[in-house]
Structure 1
């Protein structure tokens, strides 16, 4: 039955995207079919095939080893507060977000800046972007940006094609925005892993987001004009120089950006969690007069539970899964993953009296992996608008439609994961 749910969910997601298209006759069936096949191939190889699982486990082990280097700097600053001794003292409360997650963001921000300065990041982006360009027939610029989104954030990825932003068609511009919102930056992705989400799932979801973003961008906004390829070439893409003076400058500036990002995330989470709790209290007080207290999280769960069911989640777990999907869209994915963490560790789900099923854990790990929250719209408009101020008005006019396309891209990743596991 869950297989049928996932198949129905995939069909519904594609139908919604088709109905939202601004030019259905110009939708490229070749692009849609190949992008879907790429998503299925990634998921099948990484979740089902033994050799694919082994490759993902190998990659996950290497990433885990990389994360361990963060501990050296963190323990120098915080001593025993950054070690596993905190779990001996506090039990489950030993996971302290400020000590476990935020240092990872600073380290990886510095590392990614260094990799960009020495040219390694560009080579990876050109390799993957070139493959997308040839397979899907998308332009070089949008393919490169989509590839960059595997490693970089919504405002950093477009930097690799900054000289060409003014030449992009409206469809390409829309694609750049969708790709950024639907994906997740490598720095933040590894922060999610600190919540107990399996790194191999996060890596798979990140790679799947590249074709997913292109797929839904071109369903919503098919290309109707000449794209930017006449202004770009493979060689011109390689000519983009580092903005850093040397490697030390790259590391220090990258660390500064990481600190700023970490502080912003910490402040945002503090404010949002407090506001959610406040509205929870207000709603429960207001509904207590009816004899049935209803919280904001319960309401979100009811609204999004059909969506969770369509992804392949069992109906008994759909309200909980719906709560997390709703929290991710309305607030952010950090809050959703934080609320998922106890159930990844084996906590009992009150609705069923049992542990959360492995299948639901995997579906949520995939579906929550993306920047698809309302706050990202403002970040994207501010960041991309600053790179190309002459098109800021166009950017604001398509932002919410791009947000919708990105949500469907993330949900499609979850539905495909549910189908493979079914």
Structure 2
């Protein structure tokens, strides 16, 4: 029996034998049953579905949010956020290390662009169209095959492609070493599952959604808390950005140290916030082990050689890209429909530019104030946050660039806070990407994924704002 199946079996047996570990629904029902089994009247109320609402609500708030909440994970996560800030901001070595890793992953993932020029011209690729960009997901899945594959598969491919494989083996060694060491660190110090640790280690360096593929066979078996954490912080990057977009934002005038520091600091912060939002109530399948998908759990067995593994990754990448495109189109269409309705209603009251962006700008006003932005610039920064949430971080950084070259630029303090707060994929468009990627990885969990995705987006947004406040 392979390692992954052994872990799954052990976790299942441990869950069956433990009288203290249940799902949230099982805990609530057991608590109600224990309190009412000696009271026939109350027992009949439970059987009739008329359990007193106040009693259940009180138990859920106290039991789920306080007693079951893993406070060590929360406290350690917030502590590491401060430590990482000191290491990256106050030492040149810390910044250089993290930027080198981000550049390495970005350069490797960027090798999909020359291949895309086979289907499109170079000018089309340079325009960074969304459709063209996410077709490279097929290449990114090859990237995961490279990291996760057995070395013997690569050696079999090296007979006729020695230089290519030597380079890829070097990249594999560097990135896999970083992922493995960081994952083990998060797993040991923050008491999270192996799958959560792996995607936590990979999230700042690879693209939005791709790190979930590193634990692909375990996504379908993940608990609700794990899925929420995948979306809030790591796998789909609501609180981080990927190495592939660093150069784009740097060209817009954002200091690279701000981007790298914000992404790395937001990892432990988002773990803490996500675990406060949805505590772990089940036994994760990967608890007690850090395992990367090596392709052995797929239907049809392990790949026979490197070419077979690459073909599988490309095929699955095309499925993921299709899910992303369909979901983003649906979410954005809904947003623009809401904007149209708001504009139509606003005209009836004399407000001709009533949009989500305008409303969110005022909603984020108090949040921006508590982040430490100087009072005269609060509204400007809050509108930038609204733009990020409503559109995306690229449009927000573009607006920030226009403000900085205008006659009334932001003060250095406001600019620093804004550059940190805008760093992340927490926006309505990314909501569609989240649902698309994880639904492709785990079709049977699509209902849960769609239900908790908005909560994960908000948690990721809060993590980046917390990071900005510290900066």
Q: TM-score, normalised by structure 1?
A: 0.69
Find out whether 1:313 has 2:341 as its counterpart: no
Partner residue of 2:251 out of 194, 197, 200:
194
Find out whether 1:216 has 2:273 as its counterpart: yes
Higher relative contact order (CA 8 A, sep 6+): 1
Deviation at 1:56, TM superposition (A): 6.4
- Which residue in 2 is equivalent to 1:31? 73
Deviation at 1:251, TM superposition (A): 11
Deviation at 1:53, TM superposition (A): 5.3
Q: Contact (CA 8 Å) 1:105, 1:188: kept in 2 or not?
A: no
RMSD (CA atoms): 4.5
Task: Output the CA distance in 1 between the equivalents of 2:310 and 2:108.
Answer: 20
Deviation at 1:165, TM superposition (A): 2.0
Aligned CA distance change for structure 1 residues 277 and 225 (closer, same or farther; 3 Å): closer
Partner residue of 1:237 out of 292, 298, 301:
292
Aligned CA distance change for structure 1 residues 322 and 224 (closer, same or farther; 3 Å): same
- Which residue in 2 is equivalent to 1:342? 402
- Which residue in 1 is equivalent to 2:227? 173
> Which secondary structure state, in structure 1, belongs to the residue aligned with residue 241 of structure 2?
coil
Deviation at 1:140, TM superposition (A): 0.5
- Structure having the higher helix fraction is 1
Find out whether 1:207 has 2:264 as its counterpart: yes
- Which residue in 2 is equivalent to 1:385? 439
Q: Contact (CA 8 Å) 2:102, 2:243: kept in 1 or not?
A: no
Task: Output the CA distance in 2 between the equivalents of 1:400 and 1:257.
Answer: 23
Aligned CA distance change for structure 1 residues 141 and 106 (closer, same or farther; 3 Å): closer
Structure 2: stretches of 5+ with no match in the other structure: 1-60, 148-171, 297-301
Task: Output the CA distance in 2 between the equivalents of 1:217 and 1:67.
Answer: 28
Task: Output the CA distance in 1 between the equivalents of 2:428 and 2:365.
Answer: 20
- Which residue in 1 is equivalent to 2:83? 41
Aligned CA distance change for structure 1 residues 328 and 395 (closer, same or farther; 3 Å): same
Task: Output the CA distance in 2 between the equivalents of 1:41 and 1:377.
Answer: 30
Deviates more, 1:134-143 or 1:108-117: 108-117
Partner residue of 1:116 out of 138, 144, 158:
144
Looking at CA atoms only, which structure, 1 or 2, has the larger radius of gyration?
A: 2
1:3-402 correspondence runs (5 A): 23-49=65-91, 52=94, 99=126, 115-119=143-147, 120=172, 121-179=175-233, 180=236, 181-229=238-286, 233-234=289-290, 236-237=291-292, 239-240=294-295, 245=307, 296=355, 297-343=357-403, 346-348=404-406, 354-402=408-456
Q: Contact (CA 8 Å) 2:138, 2:317: kept in 1 or not?
A: yes
Deviation at 1:320, TM superposition (A): 0.8
Q: TM-score, normalised by structure 2?
A: 0.63
Q: How many residues align?
A: 372
Task: Output the CA distance in 2 between the equivalents of 1:278 and 1:392.
Answer: 29
Q: Contact (CA 8 Å) 2:223, 2:284: kept in 1 or not?
A: yes
Aligned CA distance change for structure 1 residues 154 and 55 (closer, same or farther; 3 Å): closer
